[in-house]
Every structure is written in structure tokens, then in C-alpha cells.
A = this chain, B = another copy of it.
Amino acid sequence: MAGNSIGQCFRITTAGESHGPANVVIIDGIPPGISLSERDIQTDLDRRRPGQSKITTQRKESDKAEIISGVFEGKTTGTSLTIFIRNRDIRSQDYVSIKNKYRPGHADFTFDMKYGIRDYKGGGRASARETVVRVAAGAVAKKMLMEMGYSIKILGYVKQIGHLVAESVDPASLTLKQIESNIVRCPDQKVAKKMIQLIEKLRRECDSIGGMAEFAAIGVPAGWGEPVFDKLKADLAKALFSLPAVMGVEFGAGFAVATARGSENNDQFIKSEEGKIITKTNRHGGMLGGISSGMPIIARCAVKPTSSIPRELETVTRDGKATKIATKGRHDPCLLPRFIPMGEAMIAITLADHCLRHRGQTGTKG
């Protein structure tokens, strides 16, 4: 219970269903005096917005953020900040046919098992719609870090869709412009083109496809995180796994460490030209012992193919009778392009939290 909050010092609490009147987030613990307006939030909301391109869901939401509290004359007051985003384009009738059936790959069954009741319209609380306010909160977190004087860049891109893998993209030197240069958010333009074709093909085939996203957080100072349970990597992993459809998370060298030897996996410390202690390589992915090292934080997420597909599949009714189901409604044939701003948001929220935690305990900004 009480599972709709995340963060300890920068803490967000969310609510809202796919087909309810609105989604809401309350952000608690933000420092006072941060310049903030709806415009700061809108850019990332637009990147997440449904209907943004031909390869996403065609649900049309303007996703305009309304700041309801916590900002006075353009600055945060330090009290709880509410953002409200209305749902406008609702077609609940699409869901009547699945009211008593369990969509494969969905949370219909598990919600029923947990609660004995479920809002079947658009998936209710189990819809990716809930991430809209996470992205809003992530934009606030990014703004906070910037106004506190950090030059932290948190960016992600689509590294893989199906068997198509972006080549030679260095996550540590990515720019937002590169990522946004095409609708699939893959800066390898050649591969991006093929990815778009693949997604369109799958949509025509009433199917969907999985993929992998890679994220980098550059400029995080050394010293954020905690040594035991609240390791920075543990909290980032929780934040990323809390997004819908994530089946795997890895940092730095990730699963490749399974075949590595210590002598090759250990990143050696050296002094940089600017006199900072850095590591020569970054197999550790920017965190050692749960604490940031100052090197780029590198994370990758495996995202499953959209469960909602219009193709007919076998399933059962609530009573356990065999039946067939084809999920209507409007869905993304591939979740990856819109996953990018969601992942960035969760990383920003986690870093904002550890930033304040670190300052509280040590008195330094790190």
C-alpha cells in the first residue's frame, strides 16, 4: 500500500486513470526559488505525447500541464507543487468488449487477483497514460538541477528495435537535437529509417515489436547515492523498472560482465588533464559502491513489444472460460520512441532526490 510515491527528499506522488478526468502529480520537497512555468514542462510532454507521429498511437491529447500549487510569481515556494493534466480524447466504448476478458500480456488478470475490481476503461491505472505526469515531474527535476547550478544532461535514445541496432552512437556525447532528428528517436539515421519501416510493417501486420533504449546522465558529480540499499544504481533501476513494459535494466558493461575478467573489467583511475580523478574507461557505468563516480551514468532498458495488438489471441474470461480477444483501442506498435522521455524523466527524478539527500547529509552540493 502507499505505492504511488517515489523518492525520499524530492518525492512525487501520482494519481489518475487512462479514461478518468485527469492525471495528477504532487511534487514534495522541491527547493524554493526555482524558476518554473508550464513552458518548462511542455517540451518533454510533447516528446511523450500520443499522436506525435505516424508510428505512435493515434490518441490525440494536447497534454497541457497546469500548475495548480507550489509556484508563486514564477518561482517555486518550497511547498507541495501540483501538476494537473487532463485526459481529453477518451473512447471508452473500445473497451467494453474486453471487460470480462483478460488481455494477454496485460495487468487485467493481476489487478483482478489483487483488488477484485478493475477499471477496464483504457486499462485504468494500469495504462501507460499514468506516465504523463511522471514526464512532467521529470521536467521539474531537470529544471531544479539546472537552477541549482549543475550542468547535468540526461538523454536517451532508441538503441535497438527488433534486430535493428544503432551503430556507433556514443551516449555520452548525444544531443537532444540528434535524438529528435527523426520520429523513432534513434540518432543513427540509416538504422532509424529501417526502424520506422519495421514499425510500420508491424502495424500493418497487426503486431508489435520490442526494443532497447540507452540513457546517459552526464555531469552528475561524484558522491551522489548511498552505499547499501539506496545505492544510486538500485534506485535508478527501481525507477526504470517502475515504467511499463521494462523487462531488463543494465548499467555500464551490464550483462557483458558475465564473461569478463577482473583485470579487464576494472576501470583504472587516472588524473584527467583538468586535474580531476576519473577512470580511463567506463565499464562501471558511472557508479561504484552505489555512489556516483563523476563518469557518465549509462543505463539500458529492454522494453517488451506492446501487449495490446489487434490480432486475435487465445485467452480466458474472468470465469476462466476459453475465449478469443483482439485488443481494439489505439496503441503504439512499438513503445520505444515514446519510452525515451519517460526513461529520462525517471532518471531525472531519481537524481534530483539523491542530490537533495546528499546535500542534506553532507552539506555539500557534490
Contact = CB atoms under 8 A, between A and B. Distances in A.
Contacts of A302: 250, 254-258
B260 A305 contact: yes
Interface string A1-18: 111111111110111110
Contacts of A291: 107, 110-111, 113-114
Contacts of A17: 69, 72, 79
Nearest to A163: B259
Nearest to A27: B15
Interface stretch (A40-48, A182-190, A265-273): A265-273
A362 B32 contact: yes
What is the count of identical protomers in the complex? Answer: 4
Interface in A231-286: 231, 233-235, 237-239, 241-242, 244, 246-263, 265-271, 275, 277, 279-280, 284-285
A328 interface: no
Given A28-B4, A262-B307, A362 B78 contact: yes
A285 to B, nearest CB: 7
Contacts of A56: none
A225 B114 contact: yes
Most buried by B among A254, A292, A302: A302
A316 B237 contact: no
A82 B17 CA distance: 11
A358 interface: yes
A96 interface: no
Contacts of A160: 258-259
Contact of A28 (B3, B82, B271): B3
A176 to B, nearest CB: 24
A261 B202 CA distance: 8
Contacts of A75: 117
Contacts of A239: 229, 234
A266 B3 contact: no
A231 B160 CA distance: 25
A287 B274 CA distance: 48
B313 A266 contact: yes
Interface string A197-219: 00000100001111110000000
Contact of A258 (B211, B252, B257): B211
